[in-house]
Chain A
Amino acid sequence: NAGVTQTPKFQVLKTGQSMTLQCAQDMNHEYMSWYRQDPGMGLRLIHYSVGAGITDQGEVPNGYNVSRSTTEDFPLRLLSAAPSQTSVYFCASSNRVSVGNTIYFGEGSWLTVV
């Protein structure tokens, strides 16, 4: 996928541990967002950002924290991991959709909380 890099690709955490999923894009996109994908539920929005220093909550924000100190990076922090956070996480970035831009996704991060 064009220019959206997620790390790590796979991670196993113990309940209560914290960690950060990294997302970086090199396309100078304004907008970035995080989704989680669970079986039978499609992708659901966790947090999103419309620019450096500006973030907001999505549909399922509880247990996650984000910040956007640069245009390129949008890390997702799990504060105290729970088994319910076992999921596949996708980062997305784009410029304004209304002027012809599409939304690109990273390759995903598979997280298991035991």
Chain B
Amino acid sequence: AQKVTQAQTEISVVEKEDVTLDCVYETRDTTYYLFWYKQPPSGELVFLIRRNSFDEQNEISGRYSWNFQKSTSSFNFTITASQVVDSAVYFCALYILTGGGNKLTFGTGTQLKVEL
């Protein structure tokens, strides 16, 4: 069975601080995909990134960066110079190829609060 663990329930930072959100996953499948979604206070789910298990390159998109390490089954998300608009719940999710459809296994989410 698949599992995603986001051990940090809530993180509070002051604006302009860097913050890393942790994601650890478990699967026996060798082909899988990892996703991050952002859920702002308005409630919708916003896609941030998708990464497959064969691509361990780190990715940077503006202030966002992702560190994928298969050796530790982790796919961590860093926000550099955080802003108040980054306040949201962030979900990490796992998709396995053999699962069928578009089934995702979600972590429980990390609530990020960025204060002035």
Contact = CB atoms under 8 A, between A and B. Distances in A.
Interface string B63-107: 000000000000000000000000000010101010011111011
Interface residues of A, number: 31
A53 interface: no
A97 B33 contact: yes
B102 A103 contact: yes
A32 B91 CA distance: 19
Given A48-B101, A97-B102, A105-B47, 8 more contacts: A31-B101, A45-B103, A48-B102, A56-B101, A97-B95, A103-B95, A103-B102, A110-B43
A57 to B, nearest CB: 11
Contacts of B45: 1, 90, 105, 108
Contact of A93 (B33, B102, B107): B102
B14 interface: no
A31 B102 contact: yes
Interface in A72-114: 88, 90, 92-94, 97-98, 102-108, 110
- Sorting the interface of chain B by its residue count into under 10, 10 to 19, 20 to 34 or 35 or more gives 20 to 34
Contact of B102 (A40, A42, A92): A92
Given A1-B45, A97-B95, A50 B101 contact: yes
A7 to B, nearest CB: 14
Contacts, number: 71
A50 B102 CA distance: 8
Nearest to B104: A103
A74 to B, nearest CB: 11
B7 to A, nearest CB: 13
Contact of A42 (B50, B95, B97, B108): B108
8 contacts: A1-B45, A32-B102, A43-B93, A50-B101, A56-B100, A90-B45, A92-B102, A98-B97
B54 to A, nearest CB: 11
Which residue of A1, A40, A102 has the most chain B CB atoms within 10 A of its CB atom? A102
